[in-house]
């Protein structure tokens, strides 16, 4: 207790700014947990103090957002007999954060875990990427996809009462199944393209900045830019945005996301998918949503409002969140997904024959 208080004081004094905490890229073992392989540092080394402070803060945060791995049994007790629907974010959740967004591949192990989960529960991926891009990365067909932060959804051919039919197109997927494509930001497409071109033109002079076309929204990446150029990137983005009053800015992980100002986000996409999957009227549906970013908070909010479901934030650091549970990184997401699929297999095989 005393130690926690002391570490909070260190924190308040700004000792954090000297943090040397390595950002794990997902699938490597978590260094801080692997105490056996650590060279024991000097206890008074400022880095050790910072690392202890971070650990203590994280431990404290975990009391409000317990690990979904350590809470797994308890969660599954609540889930028994309920219809679980799984929602997954992509970047930072299924794939580790990497410098080059074009290289954010999903490891094969993760692909098989998602495949297993999708074989047991309806599963959807809701991403900020374009729907095609996220499909390319994931390469699974038995999964529903929502791209552009939910503004581009491919779903079963059941139009939810709450949605506007003018945004829906009935078509067939690659397997010949009827599907609905729902795109509530269609009318913004020409202007989105215009903004994309302007951003490309304006930011090309800043080394390390790239602009990603996510179809109904645009990402301006600055992870590979020099830190002293960050304000310039923001300034360029803001000046373009000022000319497009129907659009707004969201801040993600070293990315500025420009999107149309419509009342539609990942939370709406979650509700839309639940309806199209036929769970609108069920009181026993239990959505599980796993995500790492600010835009995932909209989905956490929906789960919180429903009063049923599990929201899980992927984070190595304590963060302000509406999520009830946490996982540290994509490697823990992988473990969670495998346990979930195994739990379902075991619970269906232990059912008495009828």
Ligand X SMILES: O=P(O)(O)OC[C@H]1O[C@H](O[C@H]2O[C@H](CO)[C@@H](O)[C@H](O)[C@H]2O)[C@H](O)[C@@H](O)[C@@H]1O
Name the residues that contact ligand X, by CB under 6 A.
89-92, 97-99, 101, 104, 127-129, 212, 214, 219, 221, 223, 252-255, 257, 293, 295
Q: What share of the chain is helix, strand, coil (3-state, %, to 5)?
A: 45, 20, 40
Is the separation of the CB atoms in 155 and 182 below 8 Å? Answer: yes
CB of 295 to ligand X, least distance (A): 6
CB of 148 to ligand X, least distance (A): 9
**Count of beta carbons in the 10 Å neighbourhood of residue 228:** 7
**Of 127 and 321, which has the nearer Cβ to ligand X?**
127
SS3 at position 349: helix
SS3 at position 302: helix
**Of 271 and 293, which has the nearer Cβ to ligand X?**
293
User: Residue 259 carries which DSSP code?
Assistant: E
**Of 56 and 334, which has the nearer Cβ to ligand X?**
334
**Of 122 and 150, which has the nearer Cβ to ligand X?**
150
**Of 73 and 227, which has the nearer Cβ to ligand X?**
227
**Of 90 and 279, which has the nearer Cβ to ligand X?**
90
Which residues touch 153 (CB under 8 Å, ≥6 apart)? 131, 144, 145, 146, 147, 180, 181, 182, 183, 269, 272, 273
**Of 85 and 134, which has the nearer Cβ to ligand X?**
134
Is the separation of the CB atoms in 125 and 143 below 8 Å? Answer: yes
- 92, 221, 228 from 208: Cα distances, Å: 20, 8, 12
CB of 161 to ligand X, least distance (A): 27
Q: Taking Cα atoms as reference points, which of 256, 180, 271 lies closest to residue 217?
A: 256
**Of 101 and 309, which has the nearer Cβ to ligand X?**
101
Burial tier of 33 (Cβ tally within 10 Å: 0-12, 13-18, 19+): exposed
Distance CA 295, CA 89 (A): 10
CB of 3 to ligand X, least distance (A): 35
CB of 312 to ligand X, least distance (A): 14
CB of 86 to ligand X, least distance (A): 15
Burial tier of 346 (Cβ tally within 10 Å: 0-12, 13-18, 19+): exposed
CB of 119 to ligand X, least distance (A): 22
CB of 253 to ligand X, least distance (A): 4
């Amino acid at each position: 207790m005393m130690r926690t208080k002391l570490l909070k004081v260190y924190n308040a004094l700004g000792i954090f700014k000297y943090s040397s905490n390595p950002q794990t890229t997902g699938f490597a073992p978590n260094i801080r947990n692997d105490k056996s392989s650590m060279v024991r540092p000097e206890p008074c080394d400022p880095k050790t103090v910072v690392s202890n402070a971070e650990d203590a803060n994280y431990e404290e945060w975990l009391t409000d957002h317990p690990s979904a791995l350590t809470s797994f049994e308890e969660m599954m007790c609540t889930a028994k007999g309920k219809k679980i629907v799984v929602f997954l974010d992509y970047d930072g959740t299924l794939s580790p954060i990497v410098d080059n967004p074009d290289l954010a591949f999903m490891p094969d192990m993760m692909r098989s875990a998602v495949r297993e989960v999708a074989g047991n529960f309806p599963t959807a991926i809701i991403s900020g990427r374009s729907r095609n891009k996220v499909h390319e990365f994931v390469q699974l067909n038995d999964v529903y996809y929502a791209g552009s932060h939910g503004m581009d959804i491919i779903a079963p051919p059941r139009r939810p009462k709450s949605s506007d039919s003018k945004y829906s197109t009935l078509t067939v997927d690659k397997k010949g199944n009827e599907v609905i494509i729902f795109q509530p930001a269609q009318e913004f497409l020409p202007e989105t393209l215009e903004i994309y071109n302007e951003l490309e033109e304006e930011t090309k002079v800043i080394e390390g900045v790239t602009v990603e076309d996510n179809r109904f929204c645009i990402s301006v990446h600055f992870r590979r830019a020099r830190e002293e150029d960050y304000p310039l990137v923001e300034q360029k983005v803001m000046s373009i945005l000022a000319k497009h009053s129907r659009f707004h800015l969201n801040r993600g992980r070293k990315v500025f996301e420009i999107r149309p100002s419509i009342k539609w986000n990942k939370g709406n996409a979650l509700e839309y998918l639940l309806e199209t999957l036929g769970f609108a009227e069920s009181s026993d549906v239990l959505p599980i949503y796993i995500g790492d970013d600010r835009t995932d908070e909209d989905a956490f909010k929906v789960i919180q409002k429903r009063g049923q479901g599990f929201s899980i934030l992927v984070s190595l650091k304590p963060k302000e969140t509406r999520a009830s549970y946490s996982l540290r990184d994509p490697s823990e997401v992988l473990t969670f997904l495998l346990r979930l699929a195994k739990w379902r297999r075991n619970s269906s095989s232990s059912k008495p024959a009828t």
